[in-house]
Structure 1
Amino acid sequence: MAGFTLAPTAAAEGFRLEAHEVVGSTNALALDHARAGDPGRLWIVSKRQESGRGRRGRVWATPQGNLAATLLVVIDGDLKSAATLGFVAGLALADALDAVVPGGRIAVGLDGAGSGRNRFELKWPNDVLASGAKLAGILLESALLGEGRFAVAVGIGVNVVAHPDDLPYPATSLAALGSSCDAETLFLALSDAWSVNARLWDSGHGLSAIRRRWLERAAGLGGEVAVRIDGNVVRGTFETIDEDCRFVIRDESGARRTIAAGDVHFGAVASAGAI
C-alpha cells in the first residue's frame, strides 16, 4: 500500500482511506463502492491513475508521483446543492497547497489569470492555478443509489511531479514551481483542509460563506474573459459568481450574463481570440 495517511482531524470525523499504488480511475472506483453499499466519507488515493477523466470526457493523465484523490460523498435529496462540492474541493486544495508549499512569489502566467493576491488561485468552475497555469483539476461525478440517495465522487487531480506540455493552455506542476512536496504530504494536508471547508459548507447551508471564500481566491476577477459555450464564444468582464456559484460576466454589449457551464479563458488568451 502507498504511504498515504489521513489527517487526525479527518480520521476523528469518521473519514476512511483506501490507498492504491496504481488505479484505473479513483472516481470510477468510488462510485463502484457506493453502488455496493459504501456509506461514504471514503477517500480513494493513488500516485498513478491509468484511466483518469477530466471534464467533458477529456483525458486526465496521472503519471507516477502525481496525486489522484477522490472523496466519496453519499447524500440524501438535493443533488443541485451537492454540485457545489466542487467549490469546496477547490478551496480545500488551495488551503492545503498554502500549507505545504513554502512561501514565495509565484508570477503571473501566460493566461493572464494571476492577480498577485494569492499564490494559488481558483479558476471557475474547477481548476486550481499557479503562475496562471493549471496545476490541478476537479471533477464531480454522481450516481443515483435509490430511495432519494445519491453518490458523489469528488475527484481531485494534482500535477505534483509532472505536467503535460501538449495542451492548448499553460500547465505546471509543484516540481516545476520548485517545490519538493510529494503526493503523500499534499494529501495529508488536503484531508485536513477538506474537513474544515466541508464544515463551512454544511450540506449546502453554508454555501454563501463558501462563495465568499472562493471569490477571495478567484482567478481573473474583474478582468477580460472569454467563455466558450456549446461552440460559441462570449466575451466580456468577469464580475462575480452568483449565489448558486454560476459564472457572471458583463458582455461586450453591457448586458449581464449568467453562465452555468463553459470553458473559461482569461487575459491575453481571451483578447487574442485564440479559443
Structure 2
Amino acid sequence: MVKKQGKKKPAAAKETENPLFEKRERNYRIGGNLQPKRDLYRYVRWPEYIQLQRKRRVLLTRLKVPPPINQFRNTLDKAQATALFRLLNKYKPESREQKKARLENEAKGEKSKTKPYLLKFGLQHITHLVESNKAKLVVISHDVDPIELVLWLPALCRSMNVPYVIVKSRSRLGLMTHKKTCTAVALTEVRKEDVHELELIVKNARAQFNDNPEVSKWGGGVMGAKSIRRQEEKEKLIAHEAAKKAGL
C-alpha cells in the first residue's frame, strides 16, 4: 500500500513578548489582585433635579426654618390620609366624558334634579370659601413650589376657624381634580351617608393642625456628624484651656 503523504503543518510562530510589559503573578490573598466588592453609591452622578432635591433637603435640615414654612413638614399619617382620599374620591369633579354625556342629556331635555356635590379647587375660589365660612374642610398640599402660594392659607383657616389638613402630595390632589397637580382643595357639602365620616376627619384635623401648638414651631438646626464632632473638639479645647488657667 502506498502511504498517503499529508501536507506538513507549518511550525507555530513564536510569540514575541513586549519587554515593556512585565509578567507578574496574581496575588489571590485578601486585598491583593482581586479586590472585594465596594459600595460605589456615593460616586453615582445623579440628574440635576435629584441633586436639587437633596440640597434642598439638607438646607431645610441644617438651617433654622421659621414656623410658617416648617409647618408643611407635618403631614397627615398614612391611615388618616387613606380615609381622607377615599372620601374625596367620591366628590371628584366630572371628567370630560361625563360632562359631554350630561350636556347631551340636557340637550334632550333630561335634567337631573339632584344637586351635585363636588370638590372645590383653585386658590382664589378656596380663599373666598374660607373667608365666607362655607368651607367645611380644606386640604393643602405639602410640596407646593413656590411655597409662598399657600404659605398664608393655614393661618387664614385658623383665624376663620375652618379645619384644614396638610397632605402628601400635589400630584395626588391633582388626581382628585383631573389635573397634573393641585395646591389645595375644599369640601363645602357632603351627602348624608358621608356626614359621619367627614365629622371624624374634621375632629382629627382640628386636634392635629388647628389646635396643635407643636405645628407652629421652628424647625431645622440639626447639624451633621462632622460638624458635631468639630464642635465637641472645640468645646474640649476651651475646657482644657480654662482648666489650665484655673490651675495657675
TM-score by length of 2: 0.22
* Greater gyration radius: 2
Structure with greater proportional helix content = 2
Structure with greater proportional strand content = 1
RCO (CA 8 Å, sep 6+): is it higher in 1 or 2? 2
